Chain A
C-alpha cells in the first residue's frame, strides 16, 4: 500500500556541506516501508521545480523514516532548507523490488558514495540473521558518512577511499573480492561499481541484488520513464522494466546497466 502524507520533519542533521540527514514522522508510510523502498518528495508548492524528488529510505524506525540526500540541484537545495517542524509532502513507500531479508550465511553489503544509504535498513534487518560483511567506498575522506551506523550492524566493515585518505586505499569492491565468498551480495552505488560487482557475482555464481536509479517522472509506474533494459533481451527489440515498479532493487543478472 502506498500513501501520500504530510510528514513532519523531526530531526535535521547536516552531515557534510552538501549532505543532509532528515528524520520525518509519518502516520502510515513508515509502517509499510521495506528496505530498498524509496520516497517521492515534493519540495516546493510552486511549479518550480516541477517534479517530486525520488530519494531512498535510509532507516525505518516505528513511525519515523530517515533519508539522507546530497544537494545536487535546486530541488534538493530547497529541501535542504526545511526546518524541524516543517511539513514535507511525501509519497511512499514506492517500488515493489526491495532487498530480500532472509537467512543467509554471509551477506556482503557493497556501497559507494551516496549509494550507501539504501543499504542501511537492509543491513539493520539482516543483523542477527546472518553474518554481514560491509564494504563502503568513497572518493575521499570528505565524503565519508554514517560509519558508526554501518559499524553497528556489520560483523566486518571495510571503508575504502580512492585516494586512501580514510580507511583502505582503492575501491571497496576489490576488498569484497579478496574476502571470503558471501552467499548474497546487496549493492548500491555508482554504475562502474555495480557493473563490476555484477561481473564478479556472475563469475562466482553468487546471487546479487542491486538498487538502481534512473531519471523518474512519477515514481508510481504510470509514466514509464525510468526504464531499465532487461538482460539478454534482443538488441534490435530490447525489453524494458522500470526502476519504480520492478525495482529499485533488482537481481543483477536480470537487468543491464
Chain B
C-alpha cells in the first residue's frame, strides 16, 4: 500500500500535515504524538521580526468551531532558525515554514532567509484575516497574489506554496495568480472572517472585534474551494478546513487535494493528525486502494 504523495515537489510519506498556527513549532505535541509519523509539519506563521500578536481575548468558541484573532504572534525567523528548526530537524518529517509579512519587501527579505535554511518548503501566508497590513491585503485579488508570489519566487528556490483565503468572490482567480507567478502548490483554505457578540455586554467577544472561523463548521466551504481550485489550476492543492478524521481527509482528496492539513482539530484532540493517517489507511484497505494517489481528484460530479 502506497501512502506517499508528492506535494509541490515535497515528498511526503503520507498526505497528512498539521496546519500553521495550530501546532506551534511541534514542541507542544511531542508528549502526545510521534512527530515522525506526520507527512509534514507546517510551522506557526513566522515573520521577519518578532510579532506580539493582538490584544485578548483571542479565542472564542462557536457552533462546531471557533474564532481566533491571534494576530500572528511569533518569535521571528532568526529565533526560529536558532531554536525551533534544530528541534524540528530531529524528526523524520518534512518542514514547511508558513511565512507572513506586512509588505512585499518583508515577504521577500524573509524568504531570502528561509531559502538558506534546511527546510523543505515555504507556505506563503496571504490570507490571515487578523492583521492590519499584509496578508489579506495581497491575498484577495489575482494581481495582488501574483505580485507578491512572483517577487518571492525570484529569491526562493524551495517549493513555494501559497495559502489562500476563502474571503473572496472567486477563489480560482487568486489560485491562478499564484500559479501564474510560479508557485508550486496552493493551500486552501485559511479561516473565514467571523464575529461573535456578547449580547449582555453588546460587545464582540474578541479583543479586535472579528476573527477567523475554523473547525468542522467551515469544512463544506473548504471542500468546495479545493474542488474549484483543483479544476482551475494545474499545481497541486493542500486541503484544510475542519478536518477531524480520515473520512474528512478522504473527502478533501476526492475533491482534488493532494495533501491535507489538520488545524483546529489539533486543539480538541492532540492525536487528530495521527488518527487521520490511520483512518486513511483503513479506508484504503477497505476499498482495495493500492496507491493513495488514485483517489486524488477522483470525484465524479453530477
Binds A, one of B65-73, B252-260, B278-286: B65-73
Give chain A residues whose Cβ lies under 8 Å from the Cβ of B65: 47, 50
Using A215-B59, A217-B68 as known contacts, say yes or no to A50 and B268 having CB atoms under 8 A apart: yes
Residues of A within 8 A of B68 (CB): 217, 223, 225
Q: Number of contacting residues on A, CB 8 A?
A: 31
Interface contact B70-A222, CB-CB below 8 Å? no
A226 within 8 A of B: yes
Please tell me which one of the listed residues A1, A4, A51, A226 contacts residue B61 in the complex, with CB atoms under 8 A apart.
A51
A67 interface residue per 8 A CB criterion? no
Specify which chain B residues have a CB less than 8 angstroms from the CB of A48 in the assembled complex. Answer: 63-64
Residue of B nearest to A244 (CB): B28
Please tell me if the beta carbons of A217 and B267 are within 8 angstroms of each other in the complex.
Answer: yes
Q: Which residues of chain B are near A214, meaning CB under 8 Å?
A: 56-57
A240 and B22 CA atoms in complex are apart in Å by: 18
Please encode chain B, from 50 to 80, with 1 for each CB lying within 8 Å of some chain A CB and 0 for all others: 0011111111111111101010010000000
B270 neighbours in A (Cβ, 8 Å): 4, 91, 220
- From the candidates A215, A222, A229, name the one contacting B22 in the complex (CB within 8 A): A222
A207 within 8 A of B: no
Q: Bound state CA distance, A48 and B225, in angstroms? A: 24
Known contacts A1-B31, A4-B271, A237-B52, A47 near B58 by CB under 8 Å: no
Q: A129 at interface (Cβ–Cβ under 8 A)?
A: no
Contact with B along A231-250 (1 / 0, CB 8 A): 00000011110000000000
The residue of chain A having its C-beta at the shortest distance from the C-beta of B74 within the complex is A224
A50-B32 CB under 8 A given contacts A238-B55, A240-B73: no
The 0/1 profile, CB within 8 Å of B marked 1, for residues 23-67 of chain A is 000000000000000000010000111111000000000000000
Interface centre among B54, B61, B73, B271, by most chain A C-beta atoms within 10 angstroms, is: B61
Are B56 and A223 interface neighbours, CB within 8 A? no
Q: Is A158 an interface residue (CB 8 A)?
A: no
On whether the beta carbons of A222 and B61 are closer than 8 Å, the reply is no
Number of A-B contacts (CB under 8 A): 106
Asked if A238 contacts B52 (CB within 8 A), the reply is: yes
Are B55 and A223 within 8 A (Cβ)?
A: no
Q: Is the interface of B mostly helix, strand, loop or mixed?
A: loop
CB distance A42 to B268 under 8 Å? Answer: yes
Residue from the list A3, A49, A226 in contact with B56, Cβ < 8 A: A226
A residues less than 8 Å from B271 (CB atoms):
4
A218 lies within 8 A of B267 (CB): yes
Chain B residues with CB below 8 A from A220, complex form: 28-29, 267, 270
Q: Which of A50, A224, A237 contacts B66 (CB 8 A)?
A: A50
Cα distance A42–B267 when bound, in Å? 11
Complex formed: what's the CA distance from A8 to B293 in Å?
42
Number of residues from B at the complex interface, CB < 8 A: 39
What residue of chain B has the Cβ atom nearest to residue A221's Cβ? B28
Check if A216 is an interface residue, CB within 8 A of chain B: yes
In the bound complex, residues from chain B placing their C-beta under 8 Å from that of A1 are 31
Give the CA-CA distance A225 to B66 in the complex, in Å.
11
Docked complex Cα distance between A3 and B205 (Å): 31
- Determine whether the beta carbon of B267 is less than 8 Å from that of A223: yes
A216→B267 CA distance, assembly (Å): 10
Contact residues in A for B205 (Cβ distance below 8 Å) = 215
Residue of A nearest to B271 (CB): A4
Given contacts A1-B31, A218-B267, A227-B55, contact A51 B66 (CB under 8 A): yes
- Docked complex Cα distance between A50 and B54 (Å): 23
Looking at A42, A49, A225, A228, which has the most chain B CB atoms within 10 Å of its CB? A225
Beyond the given A47-B216, A221-B27, please list 20 additional residue pairs across the A-B interface where CB-CB is below 8 A.
A2-B32, A47-B64, A47-B215, A50-B63, A50-B66, A50-B215, A214-B57, A215-B205, A216-B59, A218-B267, A220-B28, A221-B24, A222-B29, A223-B267, A224-B44, A224-B58, A225-B58, A225-B59, A225-B70, A227-B53
A-B contact pairs, 23 of them (CB 8 A): A4-B271, A47-B215, A50-B62, A50-B64, A215-B56, A215-B60, A215-B205, A218-B22, A218-B28, A220-B28, A220-B29, A220-B270, A221-B27, A222-B22, A224-B21, A224-B24, A224-B53, A225-B57, A225-B58, A225-B59, A226-B58, A239-B52, A240-B52
Chain A interface (Cβ within 8 Å of chain B)?
1-4, 42, 47-52, 91, 214-218, 220-229, 237-240
